């Protein structure tokens, strides 16, 4: 990974490569992330949905090598995707905080400014002052 905003490109995934990774993982739902086994470990049957996942995601600094690829069942992949995107967003936010000086960051939470005294935001006209 060159920086928090640019990552290694995803390689092609042929059917033969998918089959090789599926068999290398023992036809089970698991992948290695940060050196630890994850996934439910469920045996994936003939009709079950599954996909090849990067254990350490590309946007988090992982590689596209077969050693970083695992199999994820349909039950596990939504949670894995959610966690991967959360981690990648955190990496980008931290990198941004370290690059942009505090004095030049946009302030959040200010919302819309208050309407001037005597102005009706409902009708967008000035109220009569008597």
Each residue's pLDDT, cut to its tens digit, for the chain (130 residues) gives 567 788 888 888 999 999 999 999 999 998 888 778 888 889 999 889 999 999 888 888 888 899 989 999 999 989 989 998 899 899 888 888 888 888 777 766 556 667 677 776 666 666 665 5
Helix (H, G, I), strand (E, B) or coil at 103: helix
Show the domain range for 78: 15-100
Model pTM greater than 0.75? Answer: no
85 within a domain of the structure (yes/no): yes
| pLDDT at residue number 48 | 92
Whether residue 55 is contained in a domain is answered as yes
Domain contains 70: yes
Phi, psi of 19 (to 5 degrees): -65, -40
Q: What share of the chain is helix, strand, coil (3-state, %, to 5)?
A: 30, 20, 50
Q: Would residue 75 count as lying in a domain?
A: yes
Residue 62 included in any domain: yes
Structural domain includes residue 106: no
Confidence (pLDDT) at 37: 82
How many Å apart are CA 10 and CA 64, to the nearest integer?
A: 6
Identify whether 126 is part of a domain.
Answer: no
User: How many domains does the structure of the chain reveal?
Assistant: 1
Domain contains 127 = no
């Amino acid at each position: 990974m060159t920086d928090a905003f640019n990552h290694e490109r995803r390689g092609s995934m042929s059917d033969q490569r998918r089959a090789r990774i599926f068999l290398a993982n023992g036809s089970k739902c698991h992948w290695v992330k940060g050196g630890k086994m994850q996934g439910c470990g469920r045996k994936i049957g003939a009709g079950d949905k599954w996909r090849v996942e990067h254990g350490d995601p590309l946007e988090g600094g992982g590689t596209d090598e077969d050693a970083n690829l695992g199999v994820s069942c349909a039950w596990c992949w939504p949670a894995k995707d959610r966690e991967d995107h959360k981690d990648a967003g955190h990496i980008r936010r931290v990198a941004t905080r370290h690059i942009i000086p505090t004095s030049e960051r946009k302030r959040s939470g200010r919302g819309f400014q208050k309407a001037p005294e005597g102005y009706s935001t409902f009708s967008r006209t000035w109220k009569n002052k008597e």
